[in-house]
Structure 1
């Protein structure tokens, strides 16, 4: 477990972020985003980070009557629980395809392994009917996976860690169809050396980007033209420009990026924590480019993108964390489109009260957040 890091906001001058605010239709009040309804033409007087942001505009995640209220979520009991002999089930990735939810995740029975399960809906409770698998039946595991369909090649991809690698499949419904993992080259900069983890891929019409973390308060990425995918060029290695990042607890790990439907914006959400490491949460940032810069969106612990402070449970509160998760996408391809009018999120949750084991033994379950 990492030591708790001071949650003080960065004092650097966000020049590029102010420039971005000049073109983003966002309102910042005392450092926080104020939402207005989709299509609203109203304006208001406010104090903004940038003098150029002088009118209330639309948050790209606002939908219908979801106006100035902060994001809030509900969660039922666990959707997927560890079966007997497993400590945890965690790190979910999910695609909705052929009228079913195809979920892949990490399990731990003393060793990190992979699992797959297919569900007709996300309302079932605490199933343990998942299937362990090894890509190519090689004995290797796909830890912390991300799954999507790469349209130009008509192929399913799964990116995974330890080491940075991918596996492909022509039929997502065939869990034995995944080929042996292909390791990505580290390159002269050794981009993946050390504890690189939680790889995330998203593409636009021209390029594909791969982001990842090292638990050091930064997000790293590299890119490649769509026609060259999945051969990411280590020579394009960069550190993402994220407003108010720096402390480890702000930009920690398990970050995801989505293209917000019917908008020009991308949503970045990253797992971190606030006053205590045991209370994990997600913060969010926005940009009009996959290269950033990323401006703060919902970054306060008291009003995060998703966390203990803005989640209520339909029944007992079985988790004190909103940890390593993935949004339900509007589609299943490499564009990673998110519908702001239908936001749901798979996440790993846990209650650590009375727990004295190591990280691998934390009894994680997978649950579902639904936006109120």
Structure 2
């Protein structure tokens, strides 16, 4: 969530509270996920130009011996993008966070990044929202000043996301198979949408924007992220939802990116990660994040034979603010414990 009415989330959580018990996501359910949390690893740093309230919406790749993390900064001047890198998570807190507004990307509203290496073009892509979906490219992920000026994915906004058919779009996510690239997004109103283009035309030619899933607003809210599970024919999609205990992620699976999505956890509400199945959680729920992947390319692949790690945004539940942008978001990692539906696919 970035420039959105965060009071929607508060109202939805309050409305749900009467009908949801504290054990709504009982971690003991068979076929469910179990996690343990790190402490906060990346926090806002002093900025001479503005007060930074929070860092959020992380995207991460590991390449050339370093983690490269892109994030949204929430500051007194609004929303922007920033970058940091480090060799191991124990050094993340000390690593300098570099705002990207001095790069050719320029200043202005930028949020919710996704970074990946598009192998057919041998270029890095940074996908983000600036109202509509935008992208920048770079030949050197380690140089934060190398990102190109923003370009739109769509020359014309699809009718399905404009009133009266839709209510906007946000949190854009690209993943490709052998023939096509797909752009997924949510809309804060219970819909997951998908657009597509041919692999050879990317980043141009996106079309056929359709609704993939539609549920209650609280149950399918925002921040979708989709992955291929290595050495299988399975894909998973995670979407952030809202409960009285805070934000959490639900999980679905499919055998193709343009196929039907089915629930993929035996826990109530097919929960993936929530305040009820994460040990040592310092945050009010699990919010917008990304899996730490086994590769860096456009296939967005994760390895079922390695413990799952998920970099997420969390906030101190004791802090109450009068404006969403002031929430003290920090970044931390949850690590899977024991068997789960994804690890069961390890061969």
Aligned partner of 1:144 in structure 2 is 112
Question: Is the 2:35–2:277 Cα contact (8 Å) retained in structure 1?
Answer: yes
Query: 1:317-342: per-residue Cα shift (whole Å, max 9, x none)?
Result: 42121100000011000000011222
Secondary structure of 2:276 counterpart: helix
Secondary structure of 2:328 counterpart: coil
Aligned equivalent of 2:238, options 248, 269, 276: 269
Aligned equivalent of 1:214, options 187, 202, 205: 187
Aligned partner of 1:123 in structure 2 is 90
Aligned equivalent of 2:201, options 228, 234, 239: 228
**Closer/same/farther in 2, CA of residues 232 and 353 from structure 1, 3 Å limit:** farther
| TM-score calculated relative to the size of structure 2 | 0.82
Aligned equivalent of 1:237, options 193, 206, 209: 209
Bigger radius of gyration among the two:
1
Secondary structure of 2:145 counterpart: helix
| TM-score calculated relative to the size of structure 1 | 0.77
Given the alignment of the two structures, is residue 337 of structure 1 paired with residue 306 of structure 2, yes or no?
no
Question: Is the 2:32–2:266 Cα contact (8 Å) retained in structure 1?
Answer: no
Query: 1:332-363: per-residue Cα shift (whole Å, max 9, x none)?
Result: 00000011222101000012324032111100
Aligned partner of 1:247 in structure 2 is 216
Aligned partner of 2:69 in structure 1 is 103
Given the alignment of the two structures, is residue 161 of structure 1 paired with residue 129 of structure 2, yes or no?
yes
Using the TM superposition, give the Cα deviation of residue 188 of structure 1 relative to its aligned residue in structure 2, in angstroms. Answer: 6.3
Question: Is the 2:134–2:151 Cα contact (8 Å) retained in structure 1?
Answer: yes
Using the alignment, how far apart are the partners of 2:246 and 2:305 within structure 1?
27
Query: 1:58-115: per-residue Cα shift (whole Å, max 9, x none)?
Result: xxxxxxxxxx552111112101011242100000000111111000000011210111
Using the alignment, how far apart are the partners of 1:286 and 1:259 within structure 2?
10
> Structure 1 unaligned runs (5+)?
8-31, 36-67
Aligned partner of 1:347 in structure 2 is 312
**Closer/same/farther in 2, CA of residues 263 and 178 from structure 1, 3 Å limit:** same
Aligned partner of 2:60 in structure 1 is 94
Question: Is the 1:77–1:126 Cα contact (8 Å) retained in structure 2?
Answer: no
Aligned equivalent of 1:195, options 164, 168, 174: 168
Alignment of 1:49-128 (within 5 A): 68=30, 70-84=32-46, 85-110=51-76, 111-124=78-91, 126-127=93-94
Using the TM superposition, give the Cα deviation of residue 4 of structure 1 relative to its aligned residue in structure 2, in angstroms. Answer: 1.2
Question: Is the 1:83–1:128 Cα contact (8 Å) retained in structure 2?
Answer: no
Aligned partner of 2:286 in structure 1 is 322
Using the alignment, how far apart are the partners of 2:148 and 2:161 within structure 1?
22
Using the alignment, how far apart are the partners of 2:259 and 2:211 within structure 1?
10
**Closer/same/farther in 2, CA of residues 123 and 299 from structure 1, 3 Å limit:** farther
Aligned partner of 1:258 in structure 2 is 227
Query: RMSD in angstroms over aligned alpha carbons?
Result: 2.4
Query: 1:227-258: per-residue Cα shift (whole Å, max 9, x none)?
Result: 11011433x11110x4xx51111111100010
Using the alignment, how far apart are the partners of 2:325 and 2:230 within structure 1?
36
Aligned partner of 2:272 in structure 1 is 305
Using the TM superposition, give the Cα deviation of residue 299 of structure 1 relative to its aligned residue in structure 2, in angstroms. Answer: 7.2
Q: From the two aligned structures, give the one with the greater strand fraction.
A: 2
Q: Which has the higher contact order (CA 8 A, sep 6+)?
A: 2
Query: 1:106-136: per-residue Cα shift (whole Å, max 9, x none)?
Result: 0011210111000111234644731111241
Aligned partner of 1:45 in structure 2 is none
Using the alignment, how far apart are the partners of 1:280 and 1:87 within structure 2?
19
Question: Is the 1:149–1:332 Cα contact (8 Å) retained in structure 2?
Answer: yes
Secondary structure of 2:264 counterpart: strand
Using the alignment, how far apart are the partners of 1:299 and 1:198 within structure 2?
27
